[in-house]
Chains A and B, each alone.
Chain A
Amino acid sequence: MEFLQYFSAVLTPASLLFLGIGTIGGLILGATPGLSPTMAVALLIPFTFRMDPAQGLILLGAAYTSSVAGGAVSAILLKIPGAPANIATALDGYEMAKKGQAAKALQMCFVSSAIGGVIGILVLIFLTPLLAAWALGFGPSHLFWIAILGVTIIGTLDARSVVKGLLSGAMGLWIATIGYDSIQGVERFTFTEHLDGGVNVIAALIGLFAIPQIIEMLEGGRTRKTIEVLAVERHSIWASTREVFSKLRALGIGSVVGTIIGLIPGAGGQIAGIVSYDQTRKFSPNRDRFGKGESEGVVAAESANNAMVGPSLVPLLTLSVPGSPTAAVLLGGLLIHGIFPGPDLFSKHAAVAWTFIDSMLIGQILMMVFGLYIARLAARVVLIPPAILAPAILVLAVFGSFAVQHSLSDVFVMLTLGLGMYFLEKVGFSAAPMVLGIILGPIAESNYVQGRIIAEAGDGIFAYFFTGGLNIALIALCLASVAYSVAMEVRQRRLARIEGGAP
């Protein structure tokens, strides 16, 4: 209960001011495509140089928390996820916006983000000592199977066609191999120097989602269609909150899956949203409505990606091992103030450490309040006529993909992938499985290669990858996921045949 003592440190005017700046800044940065939470935190670190350590960390913690939720704003309103963590939010969120429920989708997103986020921070506060060692136990073989578990989701992510989903995922896996392989340093598929650095996930994400959207908006030309805009129904905050709490299954699955995936170093919180979206759909009686504007999908994805924030700091704060790219950036922010995370962090720098954690807890609530406040205003973005919106998004897309690593090559890659995706969408493919492939490819590959090297020195590849409780449990999960998808597909086809519809 030590953390309760330090709430007073967060509730001073100066700290609250930084908390507010961090939260609003994080929401805006997060909502900008290309500015992922990692970038948002990195951008703010120089501002903390001259601050008092606790206040600097409050700023960074608040920005981390709210930029994760901020990424949902563009996912819902524009179908452009602000960061990979928000991909699953776009699937149903944008469909809701198209039905005029943009305000409702945003409100539900912020409420479920806050709930997931608070659960994640509570896990960080109470279970850190227990979980830190457990989280470190995940080796290459386990991470390999986790990535494969992600791959099993690819086919069913796009509700329209399993085959096209898998094909698109396979293309993503191939795209991920372009560039230098990070373990062996070998060049692959780099026929132009623009591909030397490989395909950056953020640039790919922007291209695959934003460019087809922009072209579609402009396609209408100067016809009536371009003047028509989406409606925004008014929706009360109270009703949204009640609806979130009625989706307990989605909230529960989202928070638990997000927490577990957040804890595992190297798994990447990027897939937390998608895995819990998929799990929620599998357990939901309304599974057929997913992808068509089902609010449960938004709740699952957003509670998961914020639940991941707290646990992702567990290995960092106790063992000084950053488990995610954002945690690595935060480590830099801590070191600059002479604070060494590690076993004695909570005894040596108790005040700073607890103030930081408490501020993230309060930050979750503050993020929800600000988010709900701006939801109705932000939702009006969909009222902007496409002829004006499309160029604005294009500018953001180019700016965002350039900003990732100051590289014009990333802009070219973004535009090329986006143009390709536009044509692929015409024949029924979709972007989400491809991005998932791009994210999972390197995780699966590098862990397989590392695992193989370790296994060769030990008991051989079979023993390394297929024995041990954790490996077997993960393999069982993979098999169950595949079996479930096959069963659903078979059942759907049978139903279609009985109804006499097209096969």
Chain B
Amino acid sequence: MRKSIAILATMAALALAGAAFAGSYPERPVSLTVAYSPGGATDFQARIVTMVAAKKEYLGQPVVIINKPGAGGKIGWNYFASRASTDGYELAAYNVPHFIAQSIKFKTKYNINNLEPIANWGADPAVLVVNKNSPFNSVDDLVKYAKANPGKVTVSGAGLYVGHHIAFLQIQKATGVKLKYVPHKGGAPALKSVLGGQVMAGVNNLSDSYRSRANLKILAIADLQRDKQFLPDVPTFKELGYDVDDSSVNFRGIMVRKGTPKEIIDFLSARVVEMFKNKRVAKQMKIGGSPLRIMTRDEVIKMWKARQAFLQKLLADL
């Protein structure tokens, strides 16, 4: 039985990827390291996008999620880049710009050169939010107040050198005012301090802010276009005349370690993209309030390089 599946899988691979390679990869379950704790957005989405992996037309084997949380993702990624196997049985989830910014700012064992992207499944842009009772009704209100009171406007976000922090730095640069960043232990506590009035504003995930929209004012979105699915009325910073692009968007996807054979990378990048496009995956992501953005390996390689160049410049000024 297993042999026939293997033969089928190989044949399908030949047809799909167009690359010939011997062997019957994968013949046992594949693990996916998630550098964040269970229940967080990355973990939750990783479980959804891999739930159909065992189907013949995708990997033919289930994907097992292994959580290695700690230090903003550094623990899991350090482990992965230095100790994971390169036989295609160990995958990991990446978060851009987090891991790239960390590799620039800290001594990490990972950087874009020793990891190989497979495919991207999602993109969660950062949004600027204030409490429902805040006097600020627009980005301009906030900027006007901050101009009169430099350094007095507190803005919460999830930690240093994560998407929220990058967006904060860009907003500060584009508006030319001095704001005060208050790092938190994660997106949820950062949003809590906006809702509880401990800080004046916050940079947070679109998906989480969308869920709390009854108690928030969402002022702007740090992306190139509006989010038509969830927040069609919220303008982008660009529309408002501030030069903030999509560099802070939290991209999530799957990668392997460098040194993994090319045939396996080709097999995975062809199959995984198809797996992300599965109807059940799309439906489950939508009801979970998580925006899908599927990108192929080549697109991700370009995106990683662009982020690396951009972040190097942005973080050099600090």
Contacts and interface: CB of A to CB of B under 8 A. Distances in A.
A binds B: yes
Contacts of A319: 195, 212, 215
Interface stretch (A351-359, A373-381, A453-461): A453-461
B38 A329 contact: yes
Interface residues of A, number: 54
Interface in A180-196: 180, 182-185, 193, 196
Contacts of B191: 321
Contacts of B188: 321-322, 328, 331
A31 to B, nearest CB: 20
B259 interface: no
B185 A336 contact: no
Contact of A198 (B70, B153, B161, B214): B70
Interface in A310-358: 315, 319-322, 325, 328-333, 335-338, 340-344
A180 B74 contact: yes
B185 A185 contact: no
Contacts of A100: none
A453 B51 contact: no
Interface stretch (B41-49, B233-241, B271-279): B41-49
B70 A179 contact: yes
Contact of B154 (A342, A407, A454): A454
B286 to A, nearest CB: 8
Residue of B184, B192, B197, B287 with highest tally of chain A CB at under 10 A: B192
Contacts of B184: 183, 450
B185 A183 contact: yes
B72 A180 contact: yes
Contacts of B70: 179-180, 196-198, 405
A243 B78 CA distance: 54
A333 B48 CA distance: 12
B71 interface: yes
A266 interface: yes
B280 to A, nearest CB: 10
A373 B50 CA distance: 41
Contact of B183 (A42, A137, A183, A338): A183
B203 to A, nearest CB: 15
Interface in B30-45: 37-40, 43-44
Contacts of B160: 183-185
A336 B153 contact: no
Nearest to A454: B154
Interface in B169-216: 180-185, 188-189, 191-193, 195-199, 208, 211-212, 214-215
Contact of A342 (B47, B68, B212): B212
Given A406-B66, A406-B67, A328 B40 contact: yes
A485 interface: no
Interface in A368-411: 405-407
A380 to B, nearest CB: 34
- Interface range for B: 35 or more
B35 to A, nearest CB: 10
Contact of A139 (B44, B68, B151, B196): B196
Nearest to A197: B70
Interface string A424-464: 00000000000000000000001000100110111000000
B82 to A, nearest CB: 9
A329 B208 CA distance: 14
Interface in A146-202: 179-180, 182-185, 193, 196-198
Nearest to B109: A193
Contact of B68 (A39, A45, A322, A405): A405
A348 to B, nearest CB: 12
B contact face: mostly helix, strand, loop, or mixed: mixed
Nearest to B39: A329
B195 A136 contact: yes
B71 A180 contact: yes
B214 A343 contact: yes
B195 A321 contact: yes
A338 B287 contact: yes
B71 A457 contact: no
B185 to A, nearest CB: 5
A446 B189 CA distance: 12
Nearest to B44: A332
Given A136-B192, A196-B71, A338-B287, A185 B161 contact: yes
Nearest to A43: B38
Contacts of B284: 336
A232 to B, nearest CB: 37
A185 B184 CA distance: 11
B180 A453 contact: yes
B261 interface: no
A138 B198 CA distance: 8
Given A185-B160, A336-B284, A405-B69, A321 B212 contact: yes
A435 to B, nearest CB: 19
A139 to B, nearest CB: 4
Contact of B72 (A46, A185, A315): A185
A140 B78 contact: no
A49 interface: yes
Contacts of B44: 332, 335-336
Contact of A197 (B71, B105, B154, B197): B71
B289 interface: yes
A75 to B, nearest CB: 24
Contacts of B211: 320, 340-342
B217 to A, nearest CB: 15
B18 interface: no
A265 interface: yes
Contact of B78 (A42, A196, A333, A446): A196
B182 A405 contact: no
Contact of A456 (B40, B74, B180, B193): B180
B262 to A, nearest CB: 29
B193 A139 contact: yes
Contacts of A333: 39
B135 interface: no
Interface in A187-236: 193, 196-198
A341 B47 CA distance: 20
Contacts of B182: 450, 453-454
A407 B69 CA distance: 10
B159 interface: yes
Interface of B: 37-40, 43-44, 47-48, 51, 66-72, 74-75, 78-79, 105-106, 151-154, 159-161, 180-185, 188-189, 191-193, 195-199, 208, 211-212, 214-215, 284, 287-289
29 contacts: A38-B39, A42-B39, A49-B51, A136-B192, A136-B197, A137-B197, A182-B71, A182-B159, A182-B185, A183-B159, A185-B159, A185-B161, A193-B78, A196-B70, A196-B78, A265-B189, A319-B215, A325-B37, A328-B188, A329-B38, A330-B39, A332-B38, A336-B288, A405-B69, A450-B183, A454-B180, A456-B180, A457-B153, A458-B152
Interface of A: 38-39, 42, 45-46, 49, 136-140, 179-180, 182-185, 193, 196-198, 265-266, 315, 319-322, 325, 328-333, 335-338, 340-344, 405-407, 446, 450, 453-454, 456-458
Given A139-B198, A180-B70, A319-B195, 5 more contacts: A266-B189, A325-B39, A340-B211, A342-B212, A405-B70
Q: Which 6 A-B pairs have the closest CB atoms?
A: A338-B287, A329-B39, A180-B71, A136-B196, A197-B70, A42-B38
